[in-house]
Amino acid sequence: MESCFHCGDDCLEEIIAFDDKSFCCSGCKTVFEILNTNDLSYYYELEKAPGISPKIREGKYDYLENSEIIERLLEFDHDNTQIVSFSIPSIHCSSCIWILENLNKLHKGIKSSQVDFPKKTIRLSFSSEEMSLKNLVLLLVRIGYEPNISLDNYDANESSVDRSLIYKLGVAGFAFGNIMFLSFPEYFEINEFWLEQFKHLFRWLMFIFSLPVVFYSGRDYFISAFKGLRSGILNIDVPIALGISVLFIRSTVEIPLDLGTGFFDSLSGLVFFLLLGKFFQQKTYSFLSFERDYKSYFPIAITRVISKEGKQLEEQIQVYKIEKGDRIIIRNEELIPMDAILIKGDAKIDYSFVTGEAEPVSKISGDKLYAGGRQQGGIIELEALRPVKQSYLTELWSDEVFSKDKNSVFQNLTNQISKRFTYAVLCIAILSTTFWMFYDPSKAWNVFTAVLIIACPCAIALAAPFTLGNMLRIFGKNHLYLKDANIIEKTAEIDTVVFDKTGTITTNDRSRIEYEGLELTSEEKQLLGGSLRASNHPLSRSLYNILDKHNISTPESFTEHTGQGLETTYKNLHLKVGSPAFVDQAARHFTELQQKKKVERTSVYISTNNQYKGCFTFHNSYRNGLSDIFKELSVNRKIIILSGDNDGERARLQEIVPQGTNMFFNQKPGDKLQYIKDLQSQGRKVMMVGDGLNDAGALAQSDVGIVISEDINVFSPACDGILDAKRFKDLGSFFDLSGKAIKVIQLSFLLSLFYNLIGLGFAVTGNLMPVVAAILMPLSSISIVVFTTLVTQIITKDLKIKRRT
């Protein structure tokens, strides 16, 4: 009987031969042809037989031609780009990830695919012109990955809990207890008649109890070791699988040959304590993941329109408080955080955060807008179709369009240590066993198994993820929300910090504003108010706050020129607001006169129908503790200020910043981006701290980009982290703690290596029984977790005290 080349099932019916290979059905043959034709036959080197025969019942997926069902399943549907997420239970190994993330090679209509292995889900972006949703699902089914499609699951958004580890731990614990009980006569060498009569029965019972331990509770170690070896990787589960195998085989041989009771107690104890350590790690890490999950306190704010005493008022609220039916305001450059219907205004939506394509799309009242779009134009009013799905914003922030190289130095170091350590352990085990075979054969197997068990590099592998994960959680509690743990590692390497000025080191709340020039007419004031309402620039928001908000005109056209100003029209009025060079020749002349008088200030100029009217002068208020932050950071880092404003605040800033700090003004967004590139070309590790509006390019280019958030929607996938403006004074502390976190990881490495060397010393000399090694190994892993958790809590104690004060 032959086995199918694709799925591994026995060919019970007629064998289908193709290309010197056998297939159990036409479906398997078709999948092989698809993979082979598209140069993906390497899949069979990664995974020999996925184990699923793609037998498709005719008409099974016809419901995916229903437009209502399609709309409910799709996360995004615009132009010819559609995005959908599926749960695929059959995802189980690295080869699954490999084939699913290469689906674009199977069909040109698939733009991208991202697999979330722990959740067993895939997120697909595809062209609706090239393929339909039904055809996409059929393609997945044909290659053996049938999605689990349920509209109820999509609405409830519930995830199933995997309790397999608990079941395996329970089975191993039950067997361990019973085997220990049956082994008592052997331990104490009791020569009682009835015990002597039934000792063979007891031994066979221990063998029976060990079967579910080896083949159920411990099977994950064998599967992982086998897949690693087949892929040419010597992973950390190889020595564990070897240890379990040696104990089981030797114990099983001893019983029929009446050589002894075997090591079933050590075997069951080994698996039980290994699983107990894994359970502890899993629970601890899931706790860290939940705690560090910024979704529950993400500082994105959005403007909601409410009716109070017959008036339409605006309020700033956090996005996750938005409910279905709420009216919200989206300004220029703001992100749309939920699916909504356009009610008022002319929308030009940039969906590049979702699709990677930056061409803005025009929408009219009544059109549906999708979460992730960014408004490019005037103010628009939307009605929310559903509450904000924070998980979607998480996916958006981590989208591959904006992802940088996330290779962690410590992740690479951990892999190198684990690999080399495994080789070393196998060599030590073989050499020490060979020695004891000649010197004292009774100890040889104990030494071999003890070495394999005690020297597992699990504790080494835990040092970096638990330390950085715990720091990520603590940073989040203190209102610094980072994209991933590797940002902490990068922050510790920063030697240059570049600050934007307006909205970053200045606060929008306490600015004093004065007007100088010709008096504005009521129509000009109304248009000015409506124009500023649509803008998200910090100066625009500050100026809008002092104007009459009840008598405003919504611009008929609105254009915001990044780094220069905004231009709007309403009926016969054409208004320009911004820098003097952008507004009018008269404004430039006025600025020159003020500079001759040595009047230093930041101003916003206004012209109507190309006639200069006047300017609003801002007396900026800098953030509390700014001078102390600059002094703290300048000790071992270079401080630079890049501002898009004029140099009216230069003299005042020179009193605040350390002597010799470089300051550059009148910088356009492109200038900031190029300056960051120039610094990096000099070997500098650069952090950009901005407000997320005009600094997107510089934030994305920098090694670490941090956005300062107040009460406006500044979310941008270009940044690596968001810092609540109230915690700006703690920026230096975050730098210091990042450096300390790296030292904690290094100490954890040394501690783990110390454990292993001590344990190996006892194991090689034959003074360590396998069952004791089985207890000590997970304890070493747990001790690393406890060590990193306690130390990170201690080093962040001062940060928590600052938060309370």
Residues 103 and 113: their CA atoms lie apart, in Å, by: 7
CATH architecture observed for domain 298-393: Distorted Sandwich (2.70)
Q: So where are the chain's domains?
A: 1-55, 62-117+126-156, 298-393, 507-621
Q: How far is CA 294 from CA 319, 537, 713, 719, in A?
A: 13, 25, 16, 15
CA distances (Å), origin 286, targets 291, 392, 476: 8, 20, 16
Residue 52 confidence (pLDDT) above 50? no
Residue 587 has pLDDT above 70, yes or no: no
Q: Examine domains 62-117+126-156 and 298-393 and report if their fold is the same.
A: no
| Burial of residue 334 (number of CB atoms within 10 Å: 0-12, 13-18, 19+) | buried
Sheet strands (E) in 325-431: 327-330, 340-344, 347-350, 361-363, 368-369, 374-375, 380-384
Beta strand pairing status for 686-690 and 496-499? parallel
Q: Could you tell me if residue 561 is left (phi over 0), alpha (psi between -120 and 50 degrees) or otherwise beta? A: beta
Return d(Cα 27, Cα 206) in angstroms, integer: 45
Contact in structure between 578 and 566 (CB atoms under 8 Å)? yes
Q: Are 502 and 644 in contact (CB under 8 A)?
A: yes
Class of domain 507-621: alpha beta
Looking at residues 643-659, what average pLDDT do you find? 81
Q: Give the separation between CA 334 and CA 316, rounded to whole angstroms.
A: 14
Q: Which residues pair with 87 in a beta bridge?
A: 121, 148
Paired with 608 in beta bridges are: 575, 611
Q: Which CATH code of 3.40.50.1370, 1.10.3720.10, 3.30.70.2610, 3.30.70.100 fits the domain covering 62-117+126-156?
A: 3.30.70.100
Q: Is residue 662 a contact partner of residue 764, using CB atoms and an 8 Å limit?
A: no
Q: What is the mean pLDDT of the chain?
A: 77
SS3 284: helix
User: Each residue of 681-726: pLDDT tens digit?
Assistant: 999 999 999 887 667 788 888 999 998 887 555 556 678 888 888 8
Tell me the per-residue pLDDT of 625-644, one tens digit each, with 9 for 90 and over. Answer: 888 899 999 888 999 999 88
Whose tokens are 């519930």? That residue is 158
What's the whole-number mean pLDDT along residues 67-77? 83
Nearest Cα neighbor of 580 from 548, 618, 606 is 606
Q: How far is residue 464's CA from residue 32's CA, in Å, rounded to a whole number?
A: 41
Average pLDDT over residues 465-486: 83
pLDDT at 157: 45
Q: Provide φ and ψ at 272, rounded to 5°.
A: -60, -50
Q: How many Å apart are CA 593 and CA 187, to the nearest integer?
A: 100
Q: Do 671 and 689 form a contact (C-beta atoms < 8 A)?
A: no
Using the predicted structure, report yes or no on whether residue 468 has a pLDDT greater than 50: yes
Looking at residues 400-418, what average pLDDT do you find? 61
Site of tokens 């030292």? 743
Is the pLDDT at 620 greater than 90? The verdict is: no
Question: pLDDT confidence of 16, banded at 50, 70, 90?
Answer: low
At 391, the pLDDT band (50, 70, 90 cuts) reads: low
- pLDDT, mean of residues 251-264: 77
pLDDT band at residue 10 using 50, 70 and 90 as cut-offs:
low
Q: In sequence order, which residues have a C-beta less than 8 Å from that of residue 144 and are 6 or more positions away?
A: 6, 7, 31, 50, 51, 52, 53, 54, 90
pTM for the whole thing?
0.67
For 245, other C-beta atoms within 10 Å of its C-beta total: 18
* Length, in residues, of the chain: 805
Identify the bridge partners of residue 121 per DSSP, sorted by sequence position. 87, 116
Residues 6+ apart with CB under 8 A from 560: 332, 333, 377, 534, 535, 537, 566, 567
**8-state DSSP, 345:** S
